[in-house]
Amino acid sequence: MNILAVIKREERKLEEQLGKLQQQLNGVKAAAKALGHSTNHELNEFKERLLSAAGRKKISEAAKKRWARVRAQAKKAMN
């Protein structure tokens, strides 16, 4: 087998696949453009929410109190 011919055949297959992928990408881009601003809005909608150290501390203390209460009730139930 001629290695050069095999390489050329593989190149043609890859170029065909690239063409198909480019068409799909163009379709997705066109759909995004048709939707307009709503796509950008949806992507920006999910921003990371940050808590201050004081907020995290309050949440932590409340959780510790809840678990202490649960443990106390479990201990009473066992006695």
Q: pLDDT tens for residues 56-75?
A: 999 999 999 999 999 999 98
Alpha-carbon separation of residue 7 from 4, 12, 55 (angstroms):
5, 9, 62
Separation CA 4–CA 73 (nearest Å):
78
- Dihedral sign for Cα 64, 66, 67, 68, please: positive
User: What are the φ/ψ torsions at residue 50 (nearest 5 degrees)?
Assistant: -110, 140
What does the pLDDT look like over 28-44, one tens digit per residue? 888 888 877 655 555 55
Q: Residue 45: what pLDDT?
A: 62
Total-model pTM: 0.41
- Tokens, residue 7: 């390489």
